[in-house]
Structure 1
Amino acid sequence: MSNRHQGRLVPPRYGKETPPASTRPGEPAMGSRHLLLRNAMRLTPNTRGFRLRQVILTAAGLEVHRTARVTASASFLIRQVSIGPDTFVGHHFRAYGGPTSRMEIGSGCAIGPDVCVLAGTHEIGQADQRAGAGRSTEVIIEDGCWIGGRAVLVGPCRIGHGSVVAAGAIVRADVPPNALYFGPRPTDIRPLTP
């Protein structure tokens, strides 16, 4: 469904119900700052206006260095975010998490398109509802890392300084510093020169 009407941008329609404020009972809502963030980011040019987006993200409560470059299609559905200097966050980046989840991206990082960070999960529940109680985690990407397109980082995990995560890889554990990560097997991790 398009949210354009006669050439002007109109807010999405939710019918009689309101958009969901939380994914689980008892979790706090993302808040009006995050709603403002989502809508304001969409109005900026996708690969220009990096400084304007930095101001918008900072006003929404995220910690974004003034030299970080975040594309307009990036989405942060997580409260505690830190993005270091000279870092690029690519098109359609998505970060999801629980109420106390944390995501940190160091300096000099390159995050490819369609990368997904999952900093929240659920305990395994009973047979009648396998997605049990929610649990917040953290995803840390240290300085100088390169995360290839469509990689998925599942918390808790730490990507070591100067490492490369191959496109399409799924990371579910820590990656050592200066390593090329293809997958979880020992033969899928290759050392890089520092």
Structure 2
Amino acid sequence: MNYMLANMLLAILPMTRWFGLKRRILRALGIVIADGASVCGHVRFYGAGQVTIGHDTWVGPATEFHTASGADITIGDRCDIAPGVAFVTGSHDMGDAHRRAGRDIAASIAIGAGTWIGARAMILGGARIETGSMIAAGSLVLAKSWPANTLLMGTPARAVRQLDGGQ
């Protein structure tokens, strides 16, 4: 995966146009992106893990995908990701007083189909958000499995209500 080249190209291509061209370029650079997915400008990819973006998913401007080897990010079909969202798979165990950031750890992130993620939300490694959920703007989603059709809100995010699961 050549994320550096992807980042450079996404910085110079039009912000909300040429989605077909962007898909072809991202696929050629190792990102798995389904037909109909739209990746806006200034989206950034970092790390050694795989990013997969589903069919008809919208990835807003300035979204960041931080992966680690063996810790992938999977975004389902028909998701909407607002501007400035960050997906971060890596972290550290707590170290001792000599250095608090201990051993590197990483875990995959999975976002279920139809999920809406509000502006500047942050999703941390180990988070698994099931289908039809909504994450409020500015929320911090920690490592946990969250049920389908759940509204998550806050820092750290908590389930504030169950959403209608109908079509």
Same fold (TM over 0.5): yes
The 8 Å contact of residues 66 and 88 in structure 2, kept in 1 or not, is answered as yes
In structure 2, runs of 5+ residues without a counterpart are: none
Q: For 2:131, give the aligned amino acid.
A: H
User: 113, 123, 132: which is aligned to 1:143?
Assistant: 113
- Structure 1 runs (4+) greater than 3 angstroms displaced: 183-186
- CA–CA distance in 1 between the matches of 2:91 and 2:27? 26
* Residue 185 (structure 1) shift: 7.4
- CA–CA distance in 1 between the matches of 2:100 and 2:9? 36
Give secondary structure in 2 for the equivalent of 1:122.
Answer: strand
Query: Equivalent residue for 1:192?
Result: 163
* Residue 34 (structure 1) shift: 2.0
Tell me the alpha carbon deviations over residues 37-91 of structure 1, each in whole angstroms, 9 at most, x when there is no partner: 1212222111101111111111111100121000121111143111000000001
User: Structure 2 matches for 1:176-187, cutoff 5 A?
Assistant: 176-183=147-154
Alignment of 1:47 onto 2:16: yes
Give the greater-gyration-radius structure (CA): 1
Alignment of 1:169 onto 2:139: yes
Q: Given the superposition, is the C-alpha separation of residues 185 and 141 from structure 1 closer, same or farther in structure 2, using an over 3 Å criterion?
A: closer
User: 7, 25, 31: which is aligned to 1:62?
Assistant: 31
Q: Given the superposition, is the C-alpha separation of residues 75 and 87 from structure 1 closer, same or farther in structure 2, using an over 3 Å criterion?
A: same
Q: Greater relative contact order (Cα 8 A, min sep 6): structure 1 or 2?
A: 2
Tell me the number of residue pairs that the alignment of Structure 1 and Structure 2 aligns: 162
The 8 Å contact of residues 53 and 72 in structure 1, kept in 2 or not, is answered as no
User: 84, 91, 109: which is aligned to 1:114?
Assistant: 84
Tell me the alpha carbon deviations over residues 126-183 of structure 1, each in whole angstroms, 9 at most, x when there is no partner: 2111112211211100000000111111110111100000111111022210111113
Give secondary structure in 2 for the equivalent of 1:129.
Answer: coil
User: 77, 81, 95: which is aligned to 1:125?
Assistant: 95
Q: For 2:55, give the aligned amino acid.
A: P
User: Structure 2 matches for 1:76-115, cutoff 5 A?
Assistant: 76-78=45-47, 79-115=49-85
- CA–CA distance in 2 between the matches of 1:97 and 1:135? 11
Query: Equivalent residue for 1:4?
Result: none
Alignment TM-score, normalising by the size of structure 1: 0.79
Alignment TM-score, normalising by the size of structure 2: 0.91
Percent identity over the alignment? 35
